[in-house]
Amino acid sequence: MKTFTLPKKAARLIVLQRIELAGKNLKKIRKILGRYFFSNFITKYFLNSAKVGFEYHKIMQNEYLTIKEFISNEDNFFLSIGAGVGGLEAIINQNFPSKNYYFIEKNFISKKVKYGWTGKLNSEAYNSLEIQREFLKSNQMNDHQINIIDFDKDNFPMIKFDIITSLFSLDYHYDFDLYSDYLKKVSKKNTKIIFDTIRAEHFKKIFKNVEIIKSSFDTVHRSKRIICSQFINP
Ligand SMILES: C[S@@+](CC[C@H](N)C(=O)[O-])C[C@H]1O[C@@H](n2cnc3c(N)ncnc32)[C@H](O)[C@@H]1O
C-alpha cells in the first residue's frame, strides 16, 4: 500500500491545501459552521492522519502522472511555487533521486481559508515551512536536497531551473504577474514551467510554447494545466 508518512499536524495543512480530501461530511460541517470554525477547529482535531496520508498520496501520484513525461534525468534543479507540504516533489524524488528541490511558499495559515482567485492581493496561505521540511524528510527527501524559501522574508534563489511547477497556486489563486519578472531571470530556453490556470490562451502572448496537458472540469479545480517555455519578452 503506497502512502505518505505524515508528521504530526501535517494532515490539517494537507486538507486545507487539498480541500477535496475533506470528504462530504467535513464539507457539510464547513458549510454549516463556517470557514473559520472549519480551518481552526475541525481540521485541527477531527482528521484521520493515516487516511489523509493515503488519499493525499493517491492524488499526488495522479498529479505526477500528468507531468512525468516532461521530466528527464538531465533535469537537476526543480523549483516549486506553492507546493503545499510537497507531496508531488516527494514522488518526483522517489522516481528521480538526488535532484535539488527549491520551494517558495508562505509560512502561515489564513484564519478563514477562502479558495479561489485573490489576484494581486495574494492574501491566502496555508502552510508551515517547518512541517513542510519534516514532511519531505519523512518521505525520503534528504536535508541537503531541500531548499525552502519564505515568500515574505527570504531572497529568492537566483539559479537557472530546469523544471518549475506550481499546482493550483500561481495564476490559480494569484496573478502570474507576481512572479513573471523573477521567472524570466531564472529560466533558460528549455526550462519547463508547469501551472494551472483558467486562462490558458492568455499565456500564448507570454510564452513561445504553450501546451495544455490536463483539463479539470470539477468545481473545485476547474482549470487547465499548461506547460510553457521561452518567454517572448525575456
Ligand atoms: C491550493 S494550495 C496547493 C498546494 C499544492 N500545490 C497542491 O497541489 O496540493 C496553494 C498553495 O499556495 C501557497 N501560496 C499562496 N501564496 C503564495 C505565494 N505568493 N507564493 C508561493 N506559494 C503561495 C499556499 O500557502 C498553498 O500552500
Predicted local confidence at residue 3, as pLDDT: 97
Q: How far apart are CA 84 and CA 127, in angstroms?
A: 6
pLDDT tens digits, residue range 146-193?
Answer: 999 999 999 999 999 999 999 999 999 999 999 999 999 999 999 999
Residue to probe by mutation, ligand 1, list 59, 169, 175, most atoms within 8 Å of CB: 169
Predicted local confidence at residue 218, as pLDDT: 77
Tell me if 83 CB under 6 Å of ligand 1.
Answer: yes
CATH number of 70-231: 3.40.50.150
Q: Which residues of the chain have pLDDT under 50?
A: none
Strand partners, 165: 80, 194
Long-range contacts of 112-117 (CB under 8 A, 24+ apart): 112/35, 112/36, 112/39, 113/16, 113/35, 113/38, 113/39, 114/35, 115/19, 115/173, 115/220, 116/173, 117/172, 117/173, 117/174
CA of 193 to the centre of ligand 1 (A): 16
pTM > 0.85: yes or no: yes
Q: Do 6 and 135 form a contact (C-beta atoms < 8 A)?
A: yes
Predicted local confidence at residue 210, as pLDDT: 98
Tell me if 105 CB under 6 Å of ligand 1.
Answer: yes
Predicted local confidence at residue 31, as pLDDT: 67
Q: Do 128 and 107 form a contact (C-beta atoms < 8 A)?
A: yes
